[in-house]
Structure 1
Amino acid sequence: MSAIAAQEPRLNDEITVRECRLIDFEGNQMGVFSTAQAKRIAEEAGYDLVEIAPNATPPVCRIMDYGKFKYDQAIKAKQARKNQSKIEIKEMKFRPKIDVGDYTTKKKHVLRFLEAGNKVKITIMFRGREMAHPDQGLSILERLADDLKDVAVIENAPKMEGRNMHMLIAPLPAAAKKKKDSKKDEGKDQQDA
């Protein structure tokens, strides 16, 4: 028996307990019945008898259309997977002697990544004699963190690794929530149209 099959509820003739608490199609409790009698009631109604709480005493069985139930469960699972947010880590590379215009452009890109809900790894690449002045790279990272303090938080502080200095920044939870809300609003607008 596979793991998936073990998770599925037993139905109709697979239910082996002597008696069960029965819930009708509308969700009302009908009381405790023998399993044979509960199966007969479900058959007369044209539905399946499904064991929904096997560990209860007595086990709880419900009269339902099992095919429709499985279909609805699949739709809910698909929707949950769709709504899961996948956080990506984007990377933006800087040089220690970056010009003001280049800095501004790269800062705009970082801001766009953060607004999209992604984390951003900022890398300062050192070459040759620039390695003697890591403080220049650190000042760029500090300046960027200061410029973005209202939309981002530093997740990993600046750290030197080989010829590169790295810092990881993440969007503030409020900014990420705002992004989700705007996506929901877009979905509503499309449904209304």
Structure 2
Amino acid sequence: MATATNEPRYNDRIRAREVRLIDAQGSQLGIKTLPEALELAKQSDLDLVEVAPLAVPPVCRIMDYGKFRYEEAQKAKESRKKTTQVTIKEVKLRPKIGKGDFDTKVRHMHDFLEDGHKVKVTLQFRGREMAHPELGSRLLDNVIEQLGEGVRVETQARLEGRNMTMVLSSDKKVVKKADEKPAVKPSEKPKVIAEAVPVPAAITPEVEVSVTESGEVHAENEN
């Protein structure tokens, strides 16, 4: 069995006469007497740690016990980080609350809900305000409306003495979709059709060639 602190037994704290031994590389070395297992751990300059105390015989592994404890502590720390602790945050209102205070209270509720907490909204009546509970219901409806569709009413508004209360939580099923803008088609450029322009045929002038008695050649344009 493990110690009272839930830490595994190691080295001379192990009580079993025989253990099923695993070395530092994870290889099974079979059943060894406790002195043999301790000697093998000592030769490796490591510790003998009881990792499965309820097995018959108990399973022990040769390892660095200090490193083992550190790694286990880190695992426990990460596990605590992933565990979300849901608490109930209370926000108190008055029927005659001003708009500025009302908006501030709603922002606080929104922050609590975003952090995964539940919110208990308490509306406190005084004196003659008790004669108009419908005003309180209207105010709580306004709270729900301001928080939007991402909120879920876990406990409907109810009157308890001089207080009207309701409990809200975040509705994780509601996913706000981003506004999708219609795709804008690029404007089509006007097609330019080039008309074929007839090119006039080249006019070749008529040339008269003459040769003189001395052999010189003369070319004259008749046009």
Per the normalisation by structure 2, the TM-score is 0.65
The alpha-carbon deviation at position 174 of structure 1 amounts to: 5.6
Residue 34 of structure 2 corresponds to which residue in structure 1?
35
Note the alpha carbon deviations across 1:106-158, whole angstroms, 9 max, x for none. Answer: 32332122123232221212222221111221122233234435222222221
Amino acid paired to 1:70 = R
When you count helix as a share of all residues, which structure comes out higher? 1
Whole-Å Cα distance in 1 between the matches of residues 83 and 77 of structure 2? 10
Q: RMSD across aligned C-alpha pairs, in angstroms?
A: 2.6
Worse overlay, 58-67 or 79-88: 79-88
**Does 2:94 match 1:90?**
no
Residue 116 of structure 2 corresponds to which residue in structure 1?
117
Q: Secondary structure at the match of 2:138?
A: helix
Residue 14 of structure 1 corresponds to which residue in structure 2?
13
Whole-Å Cα distance in 2 between the matches of residues 10 and 114 of structure 1? 44
Q: Secondary structure at the match of 1:16?
A: coil
**Does 2:46 match 1:47?**
yes
Distance 1:102 1:74, change over 3 A: closer
The alpha-carbon deviation at position 84 of structure 1 amounts to: 4.2
Residue 191 of structure 1 corresponds to which residue in structure 2?
none
Whole-Å Cα distance in 2 between the matches of residues 59 and 159 of structure 1? 59
Question: Which residues in structure 2 correspond to 1:62-101 (within 5 Å)?
Answer: 62-98=61-97
The alpha-carbon deviation at position 37 of structure 1 amounts to: 1.8
Q: Secondary structure at the match of 1:107?
A: helix
Worse overlay, 153-162 or 83-92: 83-92
Worse overlay, 84-93 or 29-38: 84-93
Amino acid paired to 1:155 = E
Question: Between the two proteins, what is the percent identity of the paired residues?
Answer: 49
Distance 1:171 1:21, change over 3 A: same
Q: Which runs of 5+ in 2 are unaligned?
A: 175-223
Q: Secondary structure at the match of 2:38?
A: helix
Worse overlay, 159-168 or 12-21: 12-21
Distance 1:139 1:81, change over 3 A: same
**Does 2:18 match 1:3?**
no
Amino acid paired to 1:23 = I
Q: Secondary structure at the match of 1:3?
A: coil
Per the normalisation by structure 1, the TM-score is 0.74
- In the alignment, is the contact (CA less than 8 A) between 1:114 and 1:151 conserved in 2? no
Looking at CA atoms only, which structure, 1 or 2, has the larger radius of gyration?
Answer: 2
Question: Which residues in structure 2 correspond to 1:156-171 (within 5 Å)?
Answer: 156-171=155-170
The alpha-carbon deviation at position 82 of structure 1 amounts to: 4.7
Whole-Å Cα distance in 1 between the matches of residues 7 and 105 of structure 2? 52
Distance 1:49 1:109, change over 3 A: closer
Residue 149 of structure 2 corresponds to which residue in structure 1?
150
Worse overlay, 44-53 or 12-21: 12-21
Residue 126 of structure 1 corresponds to which residue in structure 2?
125
Residue 190 of structure 2 corresponds to which residue in structure 1?
none
The count of aligned residue pairs is 172
Amino acid paired to 1:94 = L
